[in-house]
Amino acid sequence: MAGWKRQGIVFLTALILLSTLSLPAYCQELETTAQSALLLDAHSGAVLFEKEPHVPRPPASMTKIMTLLLAFDAISAGKARLEDRVLVTEGVNTLGDNPGTWVWLEPGEEWSLEELLIAIAVASANDACIAVAEHLAGSEEAFVQLMNQRAQALGMKNTNYQNSHGLTAENHYMSAYDTALLSREALKYPDLLRLTSIYEYPGFRPEPRRLDLWNTNKLLVWYEGVDGLKTGWTEEAGYCLAATAERDGMRLISIVMGCPAANSHFTETIKLLQYGFNNFSSERIVSRGQIIELLPVFRGREEVVELVADTDLYLTLPRGEGDFTTKIELTQKSVTAPLAAGTQCGQLQVWRQGQIIATVPLVTGRELVKGNPFLFSWRLLREWFSFRK
């Protein structure tokens, strides 16, 4: 134990030194020993660094991000609850003689769904993945189908799953870019991030078989701002890490795959995160629902309608180069009632260096109801008298 502590202190010191390095803007010489890597701004979706981002590779336990996502999808849809009791079946025995990381689940035991999700997020428990998959879909095979369907819906073009946990299997792969897409989607669930941010979970199993859980993602305590997501390792995959960190309102997602040595996935991730935080800034320039323009209404009870931003719009730019302009591009000069709320009538464009770098749809902020003929006549008379003056 003392040797482990000394080794940890030495490695932590190296990480602290690395985290103080300042990388130059437009750092083209940024190198990584990862076979694939990608750095993404979680808010804007801007890719800040990439290396072989679309090459399919074994993802190891980063697979579990999809398992967690589907669980929280089910909870969000009202099909499951964190308090649900999950009965462990013989399915956990399919892991065989090499189960990887597990929490000693036995057929016939009952656990809450939240406890099993903690075992997945913190301890990377493969047996907990099978128990959750069977609970949500009836079988792991059916759950894997849901995993692949969800991946397809997210646009993960270089991903295919064969199991819920990430142990090596033929035709089981993800790319760094796809893993970033998946991670960005997972961030929509605060409770998922709450679980991945747990570093220590004592007493998962009580005495006499006491089991304390420790998070495999050591950056939770080694790097300020990290609160997820998932490590991975197999002989075939190498060392992998999907990490996310937030500083000063900027949230980054870092993916490294195929790192060559123990702890190298941590050092490479720190290198990417430092590059992102040191060289870029992210700003929300438009908020969802913000009024951008007014549009005349014909034959409506109201004379004008507000056009509002349909989504938040974040902009990620190199530090010190935040110059941009905005332009409103409308598809029509007026609208006619009746008209549903949320009807798109144009877009707000963000321009930089002569190019459109971002857009946000502009939609009607409320429903437009058709007015009565007397109201139309009154408006015509009012306009006529105004013209006469």
Annotation marks residue 124 as catalytic = yes
When divided into structural domains, the chain yields a total of 2
Structural domain boundaries enclosing 119:
29-283
pLDDT tens across the length of the chain (389 residues): 333 333 443 344 344 334 333 333 344 468 999 999 999 999 999 999 999 999 999 999 999 999 999 999 999 999 999 999 999 999 988 886 777 888 999 999 999 999 999 999 999 999 999 999 999 999 999 999 999 999 999 999 999 999 999 999 999 999 999 999 999 999 999 999 999 999 999 999 988 889 999 999 999 999 999 999 999 999 999 999 999 999 999 999 999 999 999 999 999 999 999 999 999 999 999 999 999 999 999 888 888 999 999 999 999 999 988 789 999 999 999 999 999 999 999 999 999 999 999 999 999 999 999 876 655 555 555 555 555 55
CA distance 240 to 256: 5
Residues 378 and 269 in one domain: no
- Residue 151's domain is classified under what CATH number? 3.40.710.10
Are 279 and 291 in a shared domain?
no
- If asked whether residues 187 and 293 sit together in one domain, one would say no
Catalytic pick from 124, 175, 264, 282? 124
Residue carrying structure tokens 């941590």: 266
Residues 206 and 323 occupy one common structural domain: no
- Choosing from 283, 302, 327, the residue where a domain stops is 283
Catalytic-residue membership of 61: yes
Q: Which of 36, 51, 64, 271 is catalytic?
A: 64
Q: What is the pLDDT of residue 320?
A: 85
Q: Determine the Cα–Cα distance for residues 204 and 207; give it in Å rounded to an integer.
A: 10
| Residue in 323, 324, 338, 335 with CA at minimum distance from that of residue 362 | 335
Annotated catalytic residue within 44, 61, 183, 282? 61
